[in-house]
């Protein structure tokens, strides 16, 4: 029996497919080698979802810019591949997500916004010898545990509060010392209570008299009684230390009950540096001052970011700014490391002296993972925007203090 081989249409197609594949595969393999995976870990669901989503936007925007500009040059134009992870505002989920990111081949991790989450993410990342660039996480314990993989770019609580008190004295002196008395309102967990104690210790040393300190729970939905006490005490300054919902409700109740202090001055204020507050309750938000994380608004990169956020309809908040800046820090470290090796990236971050980023910081200098070059600025809500009023070298507006009397 003789078999004849005919060239069927199916055979032709198969042969062509194989030929195309043999040409195509090397290209794909090459592209895979040119990728640096970075875990972008934030609480995008749960109680902190607003902040977490904002933070993710900041990282995403800078990653898109880096990739569009040709990737990491020292790695032959390697692109950055973000692996977005959600730690659901829960510490246990955060740990699990860090392990998953390590398994997925992340070279390092950026995140996870909140202090309570950062305390566990840094520890979990250390297990995999993976760098964790902490975007916010103000609690100083994060950088006081000897973890060599931890790099917190933003200033911590000690730095922020001491700067806030120094700046308060300067702003008050410049206006001819109109403020002599203070009333403190704080939420009754670790953050608010700690801040209230610190203010009670430090403000009298700086010549202020504290007329009252009132605690409240979270959530609180009625500030009338507290505001009545503030009204009776008639302080020059009101200092709130609480989270967004209570912050906004408290300030609104102040206006509702027609209490007119010379200023509302906050430190890491829950709502005071939030454009959401400015947009939703514009009249009540006017002239509120804060000492918080904020970018240097005069830098060209900051202006470009502001425009980009407006175009994408994303709120301009410090979470976006800090994550954008952290990606600038990571980009610089990757360029110098010229490797996606976890240990080399840790060494490059530790040696960073970067000053070309959007934050108003001095050159980066990590000491035990704490960026000694970082500092907060003072902001004030004016019209539809949040202006920097202090320090002078970054200011976009003069402080309005005491604030004008409301009609």
Partner 1 sequence: MPELSILAPAVLNGLTVGAVYALVALGLTLIYGVLHIINFAHGSLLMLALYAAFFLKVLLGVDPYLALPILATAFFFLGYALQYGVIGPASHGKEQNVLLVTLALAIIIDNLALYLWTSTTRTIDVPYGFAVVDLGIALIPVARVIAFLAALALAGLLSLFMTATDLGKAIRAVARERDGARLVGIRVEHVYAMSFGIGTACVAAAACLLLPTFYVTPQVGYAFVLVAFTTVVLGGMGSFLGALLGGLLLGVVEALSGLFLGESLGQIGIFAIFILVLLFRPTGLFGSRLA
Q: Which residues bind partner 1 (CB under 8 A)?
A: 46-47, 188, 214-217, 219-222, 224-226, 228-229, 231-232, 245, 252, 255-258, 280
Contact 149, 365 (CB under 8 A): no
The smaller minimum CB distance to partner 1, of residues 258 and 405, is found at 258
**Min CB(220)–partner 1 separation in Å:** 8
Alpha-carbon separation of residue 74 from 77, 165, 329 (angstroms): 7, 44, 15
Question: Given CA atoms 379, 381, 382, 384 in this order, what sign does their dihedral have?
Answer: positive
The smaller minimum CB distance to partner 1, of residues 165 and 226, is found at 226
Residue of 231, 183, 232 whose CA lies nearest to 211 = 183
Contact 137, 115 (CB under 8 A): yes
The smaller minimum CB distance to partner 1, of residues 64 and 188, is found at 188
**Min CB(187)–partner 1 separation in Å:** 10
DSSP-derived 3-state class of residue 160 = helix
Which structure tokens are listed for 404? 């004008």
DSSP string, 193-206: HHHHHHHHHHTGGG
Measured CA to CA, the distance from residue 155 to residue 361 in angstroms comes to 10
Cβ atoms within 10 Å, residue 24? 10
**Min CB(264)–partner 1 separation in Å:** 16
Measured CA to CA, the distance from residue 297 to residue 278 in angstroms comes to 18
Alpha-carbon separation of residue 185 from 65, 202, 217, 247 (angstroms): 42, 16, 11, 10
DSSP annotation of 227 reads H
The terminus-to-terminus CA distance of the chain in angstroms comes to 108
The smaller minimum CB distance to partner 1, of residues 20 and 47, is found at 47
The smaller minimum CB distance to partner 1, of residues 14 and 232, is found at 232
The smaller minimum CB distance to partner 1, of residues 49 and 385, is found at 49
**Min CB(251)–partner 1 separation in Å:** 11
The smaller minimum CB distance to partner 1, of residues 29 and 283, is found at 283
The smaller minimum CB distance to partner 1, of residues 211 and 346, is found at 211
**Min CB(51)–partner 1 separation in Å:** 14
The smaller minimum CB distance to partner 1, of residues 88 and 331, is found at 88
DSSP string, 300-324: HHHHHHHHHHHHTT----HHHHHHH
**Min CB(219)–partner 1 separation in Å:** 5
Measured CA to CA, the distance from residue 72 to residue 338 in angstroms comes to 8
The smaller minimum CB distance to partner 1, of residues 151 and 223, is found at 223
**Min CB(310)–partner 1 separation in Å:** 24
**Min CB(230)–partner 1 separation in Å:** 10
Measured CA to CA, the distance from residue 238 to residue 215 in angstroms comes to 14
**Min CB(54)–partner 1 separation in Å:** 17
Measured CA to CA, the distance from residue 307 to residue 87 in angstroms comes to 29
**Min CB(319)–partner 1 separation in Å:** 19
Q: In degrees to the nearest 10, what's the CA dihedral of 303, 305, 307, 308?
A: 160
Cβ atoms within 10 Å, residue 126? 18
């Amino acid at each position: 029996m003789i078999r004849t081989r005919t060239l069927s249409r199916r055979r032709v197609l198969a042969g062509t497919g194989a030929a195309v594949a043999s040409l195509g595969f090397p290209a794909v393999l090459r592209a895979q080698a040119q990728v640096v995976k970075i875990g972008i870990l934030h609480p995008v669901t749960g109680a902190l979802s607003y902040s977490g989503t904002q933070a993710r936007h900041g990282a995403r925007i800078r990653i898109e810019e880096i990739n569009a500009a040709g990737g990491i040059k020292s790695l032959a134009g390697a692109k950055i591949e973000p692996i977005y992870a959600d730690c659901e505002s829960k510490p246990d989920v955060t740990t699990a997500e860090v392990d998953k990111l390590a398994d997925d081949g992340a070279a390092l991790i950026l995140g996870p916004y909140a202090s309570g989450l950062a305390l566990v993410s840094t520890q979990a990342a250390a297990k995999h010898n993976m760098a964790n660039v902490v975007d916010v996480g103000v609690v100083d314990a994060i950088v006081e545990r000897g973890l060599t993989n931890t790099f917190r770019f933003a200033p911590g609580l000690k730095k922020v509060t001491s700067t806030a008190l120094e700046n308060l004295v300067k702003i008050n002196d410049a206006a001819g010392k109109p403020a002599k008395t203070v009333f403190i309102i704080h939420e009754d967990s670790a953050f608010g209570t700690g801040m209230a104690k610190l203010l009670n210790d430090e403000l009298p040393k700086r010549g202020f008299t504290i007329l009252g300190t009132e605690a409240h729970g979270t959530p609180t939905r009625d500030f009338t009684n507290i505001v009545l006490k503030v009204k009776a005490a008639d302080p020059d300054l009101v200092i709130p230390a609480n989270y967004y919902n209570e912050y906004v409700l408290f300030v609104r109740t102040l206006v509702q009950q027609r209490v007119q202090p010379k200023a509302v001055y906050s430190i890491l204020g829950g709502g005071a540096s939030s454009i959401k507050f400015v947009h939703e309750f514009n009249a009540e938000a006017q002239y509120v001052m804060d000492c918080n994380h904020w970018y240097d608004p005069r830098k060209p990169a900051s202006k470009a970011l502001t425009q980009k956020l407006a175009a994408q309809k994303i709120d301009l908040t410090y979470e976006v700014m800090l994550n954008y800046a952290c990606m600038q820090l990571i980009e610089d470290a990757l360029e110098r490391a010229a490797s996606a090796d976890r240990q080399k990236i840790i060494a490059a971050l530790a040696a960073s002296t970067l000053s070309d980023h959007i934050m108003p910081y001095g050159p980066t200098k990590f000491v035990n993972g704490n960026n000694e070059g970082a500092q907060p600025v003072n902001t004030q809500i004016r019209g539809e925007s949040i202006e920097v009023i202090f320090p002078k070298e970054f200011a976009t507006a003069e402080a309005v203090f005491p604030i004008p009397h409301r009609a």
